[in-house]
Amino acid sequence: MGLFSRSTPMGAAPIEGRELILADLDGVVYRGAAAVPHAVEQLNRAANSIRVGYLTNNASRTDSAVAQQLRDFGLNVDVADVVTSPQAATALLLKTVAPGATVLVVGGDGLVDELTKAGFVVTRSADDHPAAVVQGFAPHVGWEHLAEASFALAEKPGQELLPWIATNTDWTLPLERGLAPGNGTLVSAVHTAVQRLPEFAGKPEPAIFESAFERFGTRNALMIGDRLDTDMKGARAIGIASLHVLTGVDRPKQLVAASADMRPDYIVESLAGLHEPYPETVIAKDGTAKVGQARVRMDGPVVTIVDRGDSTINLLRAGCAAIWASGLAIYALKVPEELYADHWL
């Protein structure tokens, strides 16, 4: 059937009309020690015409170390192009605690470097009576570090609650061997002990995006990411366009089930799609979504593939469009496995 049906028209490439690209790192530029295919060449190509900034929730390293890693992959990057969650966390802390105060840090060099540059005194012990706790990911973080944070944050009679800022909520960290626990998992351990939540600085919260907008001088941005709950949700909340690339954490199964607050504007197989014309999505009166030659229809709670078309990525796009436009909860739907089959692992 797809051989005889007309394709939907092609729209502009995702990069067209943008003044700024904001790219996540883990799962977008690299996975562990390996660069993601097509990422370096496409981001360098983008940087020839517009500003490219790199947003990372990973708080374990300094901005200089991140920039050097990206240069080692072949990216044309300066330190000023890197916006980190420790930078955003420090900006939040400065609104609460005066420079010179003692801050208990759970995390690595990325946090220590930014807090020290801002004039804070870093400690690892609750016995030093810190004025705040700042928590971020580092591979060496263990029980004793989480326990010190819990001791410092414990509610004390007659005293105000100690400020607690966490760099990010990422539950997992994509590495070469698979998914590992991320900072959100470590924060959850402290949360269980102290029965309250921190203020978050990284994606999807606005602090890290506002830091980027201020630094790069524009809000006309496209966020590139691999996670719905941080990259896509943050972009949608802050009011910028978003592109989800299938090279990292969230896969087709998560995309078709995405809630309205974390649905991307674009879905691509790799960053090669950044510069390619993007097919338009057409929703017919009967609820059929068409992308390219692929067509997917909602028959009540049943998702029906009308035409597979000639592209697995367009079939996924059409399936997402049909399900999202229906307004129906994903758990109530019957979705064919073919629609969310992962061809991009």
Residue 180, Cβ neighbours under 10 Å: how many?
Answer: 13
Is 26 labeled as catalytic in the residue annotation?
yes
Per annotation, catalytic residue among 26, 63, 170, 307: 26
Delimit the domains of the chain by residue range: 20-57+205-340, 86-200
The reply to whether CATH 3.40.50.1000 applies to domain 20-57+205-340 is yes
**Catalytic one of 24, 170, 226, 231:** 24
Distance, in Å, from the CA atom of 277 to the CA atom of 19, rounded to the nearest integer, reads: 18
List the CATH code of the domain at 86-200: 3.40.50.1000
Check residue 339 and give its pLDDT.
Answer: 96
pLDDT, tens digit, for every residue of 150-165?
999 999 999 999 999 9
Domains 20-57+205-340 and 86-200 share a fold: yes
Tens digit of pLDDT for each residue in 33-75? Answer: 899 999 999 999 999 999 999 999 889 889 999 999 999 999 9
Characterise 152 by phi-psi region: left (phi > 0), alpha (psi -120 to 50), beta (else): alpha
Select the more confidently predicted residue: 107 or 2.
Answer: 107
What pLDDT digit, counting tens, does each position of 90-101 carry? Answer: 999 999 999 999
- State the pLDDT confidence band at 174, using cuts at 50, 70 and 90: confident
pLDDT digits (tens, 9 = 90+) for 228-240: 999 999 999 999 9
Please tell me whether the overall predicted TM-score, pTM, comes out greater than 0.85 for this model: yes
